Amino acid sequence: MAPLLRLLLRHPRQPAFIRRSFGTSIPRRADAPSPTHPPASPREPEPAFTGSVRVKQPVGGFRGGLMGFAFGFALASAAGYCYLLQEYQAASATLQSTINSLASETSKVQTHLARIERVEDELHDLRASAASREEVERGTKEIQRVLDGLHVEVLELRSYIVGLEHDLHRVVRAQDRAVRI
């Protein structure tokens, strides 16, 4: 049934030697004329091939397997290298950004430390120029004595003024009496 089907499916103008069969090898197909120039009639002789045909020898299974393995290994190695290179670049960029942020934070800490040192120096100067507790107590006692002395003087001035007022009242009364007469 298969040969009958092949005969029915064959193109009527196509010669039998041009159609492809599964048993034909590469060198034998190379010897076949090209389908673009079919013979004018079936009785005419076929045109002679006028050139040398380079026949490729098939690659052996072992050699082809080694070449395929080497090609696959090279391809996988190149892909792995590209992947590692991308990962390295990403890690390097991340590390660089971390280093930059660390540098900026370090500069901030240095400015804060400089400020703290200035404040400590000012505090040391203030402690050196400030009075001690004993000095403050002595100053307080001195001010208390001065205030007590001033209070006593104010009281003495008041008593003196009161005495002057009494004397003035006596003199005014005496003159009032003298004028009335």
- Which pair of structure tokens corresponds to residue 1? 């049934």
pLDDT of res. 154: 94
- Which residue is listed with tokens 């934070």? 105
Provide the phi-psi class of 136: left if phi over 0, else alpha when psi is between -120 and 50, else beta: alpha
pLDDT at 176: 74
Per the confidence metrics, is the pTM higher than 0.85?
no
Please name the residue that has the structure tokens 């040398």.
52
Question: pLDDT tens-digit profile of 148-171?
Answer: 999 999 999 999 999 999 989 888
Please indicate whether residue 84 or residue 62 has the higher confidence score (pLDDT). 84
Residue 16 DSSP class: T
The pair of structure tokens assigned to 51 is: 């050139």
Which pLDDT score, from 0 to 100, does residue 178 have?
64
pLDDT digits (tens, 9 = 90+) for 88-110: 999 999 999 999 999 999 999 99
Count how many Cα atoms sit within 13 Å of the Cα of residue 2 in the half-sphere of its side chain.
0
Burial category of 20 from C-beta neighbours within 10 Å (exposed 0-12, middle 13-18, buried 19 and up): exposed
Q: Copy the structure tokens of residue 42.
A: 């079936």
* pLDDT tens digit sequence for 2-29: 565 565 555 555 555 555 555 555 555 5
169 or 118, greater pLDDT: 118
The answer to whether residues 38 and 11 touch, using CB atoms and an 8 Å cutoff, is: no
